[in-house]
Structure 1
């Protein structure tokens, strides 16, 4: 694909026979090379220089970059940052949508900032100015790269240099001028003028958690971990030379689950969009040869229920994480030719387990198979382990695994190469997270006889009804199978007899809204009858409320803390 009448800026064009090797640090033995995902773009530009790397077409100023041109732009960014005074270990704040020439800034930053031996701090564009101000201050960012639509998020006096991108890719754009200044500053020293980071445990990214229960924490990942996680994601997702990856997942969300590097490792073409636009997503699904994308369940729900949704002419792999998908959602994706790849992870380590299909599922119906596919599964390539243990009572406790019976609930813990290094400037939180010698996720789960992990809930979301533990996730799985339910979330509400009972908030499918208009009480009875056929009595919802939307974090997770506040207020009426 090409863009008519578009030509990259002169500074973006690499010189003939440009060298694509960084200067090696002194003292490294010949049989050791520190792992660094920056290697992937150099390799791609060497092997497939003319292949389309990035396409940003659905804007006023569309652009398309080959691997060779994009690699040069990344080099220019590194030199521009160094010229601006950025030193190894400094944080570079990025506030931008997935695309724009800050394609070239979440995507450029995930490579160019590393080339300057600095650390990209990708900031959520959906935050409030006060939250952005906190992250800028806490991270100690030394420069800010910002898209023109998000300048309003900045403090009135940022106190550090700010580079604004107008998303044109043309001369005169401040971001393009910044890159051009980097090319001039390089004096054509090229990649050989930039030194390879000698410490593979140096920070690769600084990403902040959603902060649903307090101030967001800064998660520091390592170059080694990011390299290995990216290779694993490319392998597990089968991303390769013929793949086309559509950017739907926000790159600020756990550094795009390392897919900014995984796609380059696989030599894939990447298509970017400024926002999650379902008609535009379907346009690319049907016309752009898309083979892969990532998205949280809430986004997947929007995709399968868009009016344009239909059986696809080609198979598309959807990497699902961010929250547990329901079996109903997995079945809905398969019905239109989207193959779910269900992975599990947190901001602290990105995906590290995958649900692997089993031969024993071949004779099952789609609905039956989807229930097994909703499990979080086994550790994937480069991940170490996923244990389910009895929660430790102290920092010195030895972790004890629960039985592999698919019933006993414990907490998921993990360790290995791809886990975060630390919480930035928060040693106490870091120590708590790694108690027992593993990373403690806070996710409650069971482990089945074959070793597959299945999340049952977050510890704070369990509903205790009549002395029985009811998993809100398990309840949601069954309620979501009702033919009229688009999305559902379940929380506990106090009960005079049973202590707690489930309260379900439901969004109806667009096609079902007319059927139940002014008849929500009838829908409530229909849903309760549906639940009684599938759930034990203590897990059936006592109350059902139809809503137009559910409160969500900036990364698409349902804010159950807000729903619990709603039901707590009901008890006071």
Structure 2
């Protein structure tokens, strides 16, 4: 990688001006918030600092902030030359690599809306998103071309080489020529901070995916919050394990740049590569779901890194066993919570000094809470379920840690709307707040704790059992690596829990061909920790659990399995 030389078009001029065209008639005490300015600031203050490393590929590349800013400027001009207008959608289909990292800045610089598309979707699903979003252009990694074979939308392919003859590099070079060396001052700044920035599509597990439109202002503030809550700075090195196509990488494409952090991109979740970077690349931060974290701490290369690492965890609450393994490995877990509709995380579990004297199990229960709102977010609330059309005022549940309600929030870190779906937007914003669909309790200290998604609650004999609470207790069994619990029909109780379990590799041989014996042991373990209606009626050992591309367990597939039993 030391021999890598950026293309000639990537080298900025000596007199580079890192300032967008001024917006006329703005008062002196105001500038519209836009995360693009983080890049210009970084290139001005630390032009020679390494910004982006892409090393685990045939053609590795490395760009400092000065060079990277020039490349993003080239992308903006290339998009404008192509005919992209303000508000147009530019689709991006790529794993974590320079292309998608560029797009999160370059598309905004062209005043367009970046539309990242999940690379693990089927061609028909990708086709729907392209059609629904009305993308004007697609930036596509060479491994994803099969997903767009039937589209009529123009496609720019990246071979992920960084070489001058790469089609994507040619596109950037043409942008540089088109710019006429007008530079950043030749690009118009967006005057409306509430203009669309990103259009992300939800997973669509219960129907067609929804397009979540977020704004420049929200992206700016969410990125600052993530940088602050993650305690990132210019000495930080962020490893891209979380896909950037997932909720715009939880705004870390901008949070990293705001922090002047170095970013390392990984095309796939490869535990050998991850541990090599942990041990030899000075990684200080990364984001991943608990299932990915489990793979990390159980990797054969796992050992304490020479530097402190912060693991930002979302997607599910970390179990006591996982917390212990992370801490033993020298990785500090930070539990956050959010949705695509909230720019990724908008709450954090803020650990208290008093917790240090607690047992691991007690501390894990507290760390599993979703906690309090981020620095730039409005307060997170738990409210009683609305009735009728949902337009009545929202009523907070008591802060007793027992009464179940729905998590709602409003303010800076909430989407603008569901794209082209006013009815879904109206329902989501009923009562003047965004409704998450997550059921939770509110504790006396103001921390919220999710009990379940509304569809995951198990109603057994009239009692509500939280599948998440059951999973937390079952995962405390020392032989359980992963577990997921869903409802299964029961002739007497209506529903009862069924547990799907993945065993720790070192314990698989003990229970081989002894499914019933393990089921009996796990049920006894559960009886000591759970009320009878919450204890699993059935237990099935599996080699793996079905998961989304971002590592979340797909309970929909497990429900399909259960429905046939």
TM range, normalised to the smaller chain?
over 0.9
- Corresponding position: 1:273 with 2:293: no
Q: Runs of 5+ in structure 1 lacking a partner?
A: none
Contact 2:320 2:360 in 1 (8 A): no
Map 1:171-210 onto structure 2 (within 5 A).
171-210=164-203
- Corresponding position: 1:150 with 2:144: yes
Match of 2:228 in 1: 235
In the alignment, the residues of structure 2 paired with residue 189 and residue 117 of structure 1 have an alpha-carbon distance, to the nearest angstrom, of 17
Match of 1:345 in 2: 338
Match of 2:237 in 1: 244
**What per-residue deviation string (whole Å, max 9, x for no partner) do you get for residues 22-54 of structure 1?**
001212111110000000000000000000001
Which of 1, 17, 20 aligns to 1:19? It is 17
Shift of 1:554: 2.8
Shift of 1:141: 0.3
In the alignment, the residues of structure 2 paired with residue 370 and residue 324 of structure 1 have an alpha-carbon distance, to the nearest angstrom, of 9
Shift of 1:345: 0.2
Match of 2:363 in 1: 369
**What per-residue deviation string (whole Å, max 9, x for no partner) do you get for residues 245-265 of structure 1?**
000000010000000000000
Count of residue pairs brought into register by the alignment: 563
Which of 246, 249, 257 aligns to 1:253? It is 246
Contact 2:355 2:363 in 1 (8 A): yes
In the alignment, the residues of structure 2 paired with residue 197 and residue 413 of structure 1 have an alpha-carbon distance, to the nearest angstrom, of 30
Match of 2:328 in 1: 335
**What per-residue deviation string (whole Å, max 9, x for no partner) do you get for residues 95-126 of structure 1?**
00101xxx1x2110110000000010000000
Contact 1:55 1:271 in 2 (8 A): yes
**What per-residue deviation string (whole Å, max 9, x for no partner) do you get for residues 437-490 of structure 1?**
100000000011100000000001111112211100000001111111111100
TM-score, normalised with respect to structure 1: 0.97
Q: Runs of 5+ in structure 2 lacking a partner?
A: none
- Corresponding position: 1:118 with 2:88: no
In the alignment, the residues of structure 2 paired with residue 170 and residue 322 of structure 1 have an alpha-carbon distance, to the nearest angstrom, of 37
Match of 1:37 in 2: 35
Which of 393, 399, 403 aligns to 1:404? It is 399
**What per-residue deviation string (whole Å, max 9, x for no partner) do you get for residues 194-253 of structure 1?**
011000000010000000000000000000000000000000001101000000000010
Shift of 1:362: 1.9
Shift of 1:4: 2.2
Shift of 1:547: 1.0
Map 1:58-69 onto structure 2 (within 5 A).
58-69=56-67
Map 1:52-451 onto structure 2 (within 5 A).
52-99=50-97, 103=98, 105-156=99-150, 158-349=151-342, 350-393=344-387, 394-451=389-446
546-555 or 332-341: bigger deviation: 546-555
SS at structure 2 position matched to 1:514 = helix
What value does the CA root-mean-square deviation take over the aligned residues? 0.9
Match of 1:550 in 2: 545
In the alignment, the residues of structure 2 paired with residue 562 and residue 273 of structure 1 have an alpha-carbon distance, to the nearest angstrom, of 28
Shift of 1:291: 0.2
Map 1:472-491 onto structure 2 (within 5 A).
472-491=467-486
Shift of 1:328: 2.5
SS at structure 1 position matched to 2:509 = coil
Shift of 1:526: 1.4
In the alignment, the residues of structure 1 paired with residue 321 and residue 384 of structure 2 have an alpha-carbon distance, to the nearest angstrom, of 30
In the alignment, the residues of structure 1 paired with residue 516 and residue 197 of structure 2 have an alpha-carbon distance, to the nearest angstrom, of 52
In the alignment, the residues of structure 2 paired with residue 511 and residue 307 of structure 1 have an alpha-carbon distance, to the nearest angstrom, of 12
Shift of 1:305: 1.4
In the alignment, the residues of structure 2 paired with residue 567 and residue 470 of structure 1 have an alpha-carbon distance, to the nearest angstrom, of 17
Shift of 1:494: 1.4
Shift of 1:360: 1.9
Contact 1:207 1:220 in 2 (8 A): yes
Shift of 1:396: 1.7
Shift of 1:142: 0.3
Shift of 1:304: 1.2
In the alignment, the residues of structure 1 paired with residue 505 and residue 303 of structure 2 have an alpha-carbon distance, to the nearest angstrom, of 16
TM-score, normalised with respect to structure 2: 0.98
In the alignment, the residues of structure 2 paired with residue 419 and residue 276 of structure 1 have an alpha-carbon distance, to the nearest angstrom, of 29
